[in-house]
Structure 1
Amino acid sequence: MNRLYNIPLFFIVFFLISSCSTAITDYQNSNPPFDIKSYFNGEVIAWGIVQDYNNKVNRRFCVEIKGDWQGNTGILAETFYFNDGEVSYRNWQLTKKADGTYRGTAEDVEGIAIGKQNGFAFQFNYTLNLTLDNKTYQVAMDDWMYQIDEHKVMNKTSMKKFGVEVANITLFFDKELPVKQCQK
């Protein structure tokens, strides 16, 4: 009989643990604040990995970013160099709104990306049109950036399909001068 009571208890505990998540407001009192307009203005380089749902690294990549901000409007031109030889591009058009949030569009992003900054953290949510084997899938991206210092930013992104995590992306951004380039 005790076994029957353990099963519902397990599911209740599992639900409570899995429903807990970090909110951008958790970083409200952290300093210095992460100003993405300042950080992503000029040239930045990043290195990253893509891990599948089993945490196996499937791809490695380097990305060169050129940012240009005019007031509250910015363009981030990204060139991705993958270890398998693929080269891809994404051009973000970003706008900082009066309420402090960011809105963004890009050629492979469905609809509008929403960004929020608080303390040293920035969260960006969007739907990416991901093409694999000549088929396009829409995946939800939950992108978190954490500024380490004036030159370095860490990024963790969760990629989900139907609410199930299918991949994780980890990036390390560096804009320390002289800015390096990806080896082509």
Structure 2
Amino acid sequence: MKKWFLGIGMALTMAACSTQISEYEGVEPTLNLDEFFVGDIVAYGIIQDRSGKVTQRFRADIVATWEGNQGVLDEVFYWDDGREETRVWELTKLGPNRYEGTAGDVVGIARGTTAGNALHWVYQLEVPWRDGTINITLDDWMFLVDEDRLFNRTEMRKFGFRVGEITIFMERKRAD
């Protein structure tokens, strides 16, 4: 019985320490995906393993378009080891502050909610592993800094255990 109470207490403590998207309500500038993700965007990122060691670096060029409630993010990644990879996100704005998305290596549907300057986005990603692939859960947070710059921080989990982190800086390119 004591173990049961201890387990509930730990779960409640962890939940109390978790950041909720509602904590960003009213924080400016307001993140609207259909406004930020329009045009050409360049992104720079790192991937860290569970110990914090940087294991990969990349640059990504993103061409983003929106028509009505439908958006497309056409991404080309240039990895530090010379690999080139593409991902095409198809996004749907479901209503105020709610989004869904799919991509070729996303398992099922990604679901996200915005509040203030933040987006919380959770999904499963199929990633190469040894001679095959594995599915990793991504707990993704994006924060709009200003109308042209956004930070993205993602925790990667497998079987509920933290296996790494992704940090990305994105900047919209302005026509000169």
Letter in 2 for 1:90: R
| Matching residue within 161, 165, 169 for 1:168 | 165
| Matching residue within 131, 134, 137 for 1:137 | 134
Counterparts of 1:126 and 1:87 in 2: how far apart (Å)? 22
SS state of the match for residue 46, structure 2? Answer: strand
For normalisation by structure 1, the TM-score amounts to 0.86
Q: Greater CA radius of gyration, 1 or 2? A: 1
Report the identity percentage. 39
Alpha-carbon spacing, 1:94–1:12, altered in 2? closer, same or farther (3 Å): closer
| Matching residue within 117, 121, 133 for 1:120 | 117
Which deviations, in whole Å up to 9, do the C-alpha atoms of 1:9-40 show, x marking residues without a partner?
Answer: x9998766544210111101212211111111
Counterparts of 2:51 and 2:14 in 1: how far apart (Å)? 18
1:178 CA drift (Å): 5.0
Measured on the aligned residues, the alpha-carbon RMSD in Å equals: 1.9
The answer to which structure has the higher strand fraction is 2
Q: How many residues align?
A: 170
Counterparts of 1:64 and 1:87 in 2: how far apart (Å)? 11
Determine if contact 2:91/2:101 at 8 Å carries over to the other structure: yes
For residues 41-120 of structure 1, the aligned pairs below 5 Å read 41-120=38-117
Stretches of 4+ moved more than 2 A in 1? 10-19, 176-179
In structure 1, the gaps of 5 or more residues are 1-9, 180-184
Letter in 2 for 1:163: G
For normalisation by structure 2, the TM-score amounts to 0.90
In structure 2, the gaps of 5 or more residues are 1-5
Counterparts of 1:113 and 1:23 in 2: how far apart (Å)? 17
